Amino acid sequence: MSKPHSRARWIAWAPLAFVAMLGLLFVWGLNRGGDRLIASHWIDQPMPTFVLPAASASRPGLSSAALADGRPRIVNVFASWCIPCRVEAPQLAELRARGVIIEGIAIRDRAADLERYLAENGNPYASIGADARGQVQIALGSSGVPESFLVDGRGIIREQIQGIIAAEDVPGVIAKLEAMQR
């Protein structure tokens, strides 16, 4: 009689333990502060080799070889189903308007959804590669969308930006790309 009883007692406290863990996570989440960028081991490494077909009829696909043409640029990992990407779109449009080259990699996307997304949020991309199964995303070690890589003229990643490029980040991004030009 005592044995099943003790097991039941253990289970009875499991929900409390779960909620306590959730609570700790929330406390951490509230206090994580503003600085959320984490340095990546991809800094100063060349882009992994990939060739992606075109995701959209309006733009060519993307291959890693094309990134080493001497011009620094942004490689933006995004998806039409990603809601933060919609928030990022105006900043990308502004970067594009200020002459920054932006290449896109669409993760696990469908053509129709992507076209709709581009029509709604603008298309700042010079090319869009379709990463239908997220393989390049894995190769890049990028864990989510959106994510941007600042790549110099030789195809070497100089900076990784996890999450959205916020409006206040735009001048910094431009300054960094201009510094690579020299």
Beta carbon nearer to other proteins, 115 or 169: 115
Beta carbon nearer to other proteins, 71 or 86: 86
Distance of CA 31 to the CA centre of its chain: 23
User: 122-152 in b/e burial notation, b at 16+ Cβ within 10 A?
Assistant: ebbbbbbbbbeeeebbeebebeebbbbbbbb
- Please, what is the minimum distance in Å from the beta carbon of residue 86 to other proteins? 7
- Please, what is the minimum distance in Å from the beta carbon of residue 135 to other proteins? 14
- Please, what is the minimum distance in Å from the beta carbon of residue 66 to other proteins? 27
* Contact residues for other proteins, defined by CB under 8 A: 5, 8-9, 12-13, 15-16, 19-20, 22-23, 25-30, 32, 36, 38, 79, 81-87, 108, 112, 115-116, 119-120, 143-147, 162-163
Is 51 in contact with 81 (CB distance < 8 Å)? Answer: no
Neighbours of 59 (CB within 10 A): 17
Beta carbon nearer to other proteins, 44 or 113: 113
- Please, what is the minimum distance in Å from the beta carbon of residue 124 to other proteins? 16
How would you class 66 by CB atoms within 10 Å of its CB: exposed for 0-12, middle for 13-18, buried for 19 or more?
Answer: middle
Return d(Cα 173, Cα 102) in angstroms, integer.
12
Beta carbon nearer to other proteins, 64 or 137: 137
Query: What are the tokens at 112?
Result: 């129709």
- Please, what is the minimum distance in Å from the beta carbon of residue 163 to other proteins? 4
Provide the strand spans (E) within 40-121.
51-52, 62-63, 73-78, 102-107
Beta carbon nearer to other proteins, 68 or 87: 87
